[in-house]
Structure 1
Amino acid sequence: MKIWTSCKNKFDISPDKFGELRSSNDLLNTPSKLRQRITEDGYLLLRGLLDREKVKAARDELLIKMNRNGSVDDNYLTREGVDLGTKNKVDQANLRNGIAVRNLTQRGEMIDFYDQFFGEPTRAFDFIWVRAVNVGTATGCHYDWVYMGRGSKQLHTSWTPLMDVSKIDGSLAILKGSHQFKKLISTYGSIDVDDERSSQQFGGWYTQDPMEVQNQFGGQWLTTDFEAGDLLLFTMHTMHCSLDNESPNNRIRLTLDTRYQPASEPADERWIGSDPIAHGPLAKRQ
């Protein structure tokens, strides 16, 4: 049986510790039931919600830019996204401000869904997180709140695969029940990484070991094989990480993280506007 890892640390793959995300497509036409489901599970998996042609356009736009930067192996077609193994610094602003990326994440099916989900107009963060995960790497276990918790408590994350992302390519994993871990939420889950008064004990990630948080608080790690067009959304206090990218084809895992909230509620000032301050000097609190 395949042993899955994150940041080179093993998951406990016994059935009560590791399993499959469940789809919520059957609830798509009933926003109240979607809200009830995410309250119960901390996440929603929606298969094929997004237009695959728009997803492909965003992926191609990013890979062309990455190829110009020397991050993609020219011995293969650019659209294959084969990892060249370089550590070239990528201009993230150039990647996230592309027309196709904006069309996918800030117009069309994505916004239509959130308008129905919230029951009111949606505000999308202007800052878009482009995740180009190289082979052999992963994202550690964390809550998103610690990075963006200065605004609405109804803020949600969309994780959008721009390609088919199976487990071996580094799929995202959700720790079921973690949005109800009151002790963890009141400690690590309440910090602000840009506020020295609260962030000294913890960094951004809670741990690189998925079994550590599970052994401390319980829960079951859930993931699946994703396809382009799928959408995974979750709350700010849903613990998540990614599996290690072990692509047998040496492919870069290309995904987007975007954030959405009711437009009527205050937004974290770090991630909005034409030139968001992000985690720069202007974001710091002492």
Structure 2
Amino acid sequence: MSQAKTILSSLGHELDCRSDTFGDLKDSSDLLSRPDALRLRMQEEGYLYIKSLLNSQKIWQARREIADCLAAEGSLRADSPIEDCIAKPGLTMSFRPDLATRSPTLQEVLYSGAMMDFFHLLLGGEVRHYDYTWLRAVAPGRGTYPHGDSVYMGRGTDFLYTAWTPLGDISWELGGLMILEKSHRLETIKNGYGRKDVDSYCTNRKNASMYASGEKWWDGALTKNPVSLRKKYGGRWLSAEFQAGDVLIFSIFTIHASLDNRSCAIRLSSDSRYQLASEPVDERWVGKNPVGHSAAGKRGRSC
């Protein structure tokens, strides 16, 4: 990790970037011909960072399709090249799944070809992907809070994997994803926080109807302070400067967050999910129009 990079922060908290608290993601692209080694590394590390897995030209094409949509809605500065995605002053934006459905190239990249071949290799059988694509168009500002994916999609198999795909090059300043080292092994988190469900609510409480309708909702954050989280559980925050074509894959129990976007551009990335077709699937994320976290996805229980 270069010591010359800019100061890094997440959720406004400056990160300690000494070698014992912050490090580089380990590249696993040399294991692509060795599926057993890939599985072992996933088991040991909780993530696989695969450089240049995807066709970079396709990634740039998908980026341009999304950038065109952002330009058409007036989210970009008119005096800058569209593909640079320079945010108009004062723009507030983060989660834009609607943009994923407007990029046919992104759908092709995520759900065919090299990506699906990789998951077939990793999982050793027929692969099913979720029908919902999480697309993030993060304007300059604070990143995503530390969390694990199990609280959002834990009703199916535990062996569900996320592919975080940068849609373009992501510098330290633009701020990419970061993984809390070996956090998938933290049983106190996995068996407590990790078994919660953001769409589950207590039917015997006064505010039950508000949770059932989605008027009130727990956001799934493990914490809003990535610095204190690392101090409490140990390990290092791991990240990298990403390039178009790179993919970061991790388990639903791996704690992750993102660096703050300290640039003037919108950071584009997608999250897509994959599992063996033979294993149980979370019904909220499959079908022609997945219900997601809507009222239809809520599940009441007596507390």
Report the TM-score, using the length of structure 1 for normalisation: 0.94
Residue 207 in structure 1 maps to residue 223 in structure 2: yes
Residue in 2 that maps onto 1:138: 143
Alignment of 1:187-266 (within 5 A): 187-197=192-202, 203-247=219-263, 250-266=264-280
Alignment of 1:8-87 (within 5 A): 8-84=12-88, 85-87=90-92
Query: Tell me, which stretches of 5 or more residues in structure 1 are unaligned?
Result: none
Match of 1:181 among 158, 183, 186: 186
What's the % identity of the aligned pairs? 38
Q: What displacement does 1:91 show?
A: 6.5
Deviation per CA, 1:110-154: give whole Å up to 9, x if none: 001101111111111010011101111210100011100011111
Alignment of 1:102-121 (within 5 A): 102-121=107-126
Give secondary structure in 1 for the equivalent of 2:287. Answer: coil
Q: What displacement does 1:256 show?
A: 0.5
One-letter identity of the residue aligned with 1:6: S
Largest Rg, 1 or 2: 2
One-letter identity of the residue aligned with 2:32: L
Residue in 1 that maps onto 2:100: 95
Structure 1 Cα separation of the partners of residues 235 and 96 of structure 2: 37
Structure 2 Cα separation of the partners of residues 121 and 242 of structure 1: 31
Residue 285 in structure 1 maps to residue 289 in structure 2: no
Q: What displacement does 1:187 show?
A: 1.2
Q: What displacement does 1:95 show?
A: 3.3
Pair 1:18–1:232, CA change in 2 (3 A): same
Q: What displacement does 1:87 show?
A: 4.0
CA RMSD across the alignment: 2.0
Alpha carbons 2:95, 2:134 under 8 Å: kept: no
Structure 1 Cα separation of the partners of residues 93 and 174 of structure 2: 21
Give secondary structure in 1 for the equivalent of 2:106. Answer: helix
Match of 2:131 among 123, 126, 133: 126
Q: What displacement does 1:64 show?
A: 0.7
Pair 1:89–1:252, CA change in 2 (3 A): closer
Alpha carbons 2:93, 2:137 under 8 Å: kept: no
Structure 1 Cα separation of the partners of residues 69 and 162 of structure 2: 25
Comparing 174-183 with 204-213, greater Cα deviation is found at 204-213
Give secondary structure in 2 for the equivalent of 1:258. Answer: strand
Pair 1:138–1:73, CA change in 2 (3 A): same
Structure 1 Cα separation of the partners of residues 93 and 252 of structure 2: 31
Residue in 2 that maps onto 1:158: 163
Structure 2 Cα separation of the partners of residues 201 and 69 of structure 1: 29
Structure 2 Cα separation of the partners of residues 276 and 94 of structure 1: 16
Give secondary structure in 1 for the equivalent of 2:237. Answer: strand
Give secondary structure in 1 for the equivalent of 2:48. Answer: strand
One-letter identity of the residue aligned with 1:43: Y
Pair 1:67–1:251, CA change in 2 (3 A): same
Query: Tell me, which stretches of 5 or more residues in structure 2 are unaligned?
Result: 204-210
Match of 2:153 among 141, 148, 151: 148
Aligned length: 284
Alpha carbons 2:164, 2:248 under 8 Å: kept: yes
Pair 1:135–1:44, CA change in 2 (3 A): same
Q: What displacement does 1:274 show?
A: 0.7
One-letter identity of the residue aligned with 1:262: L
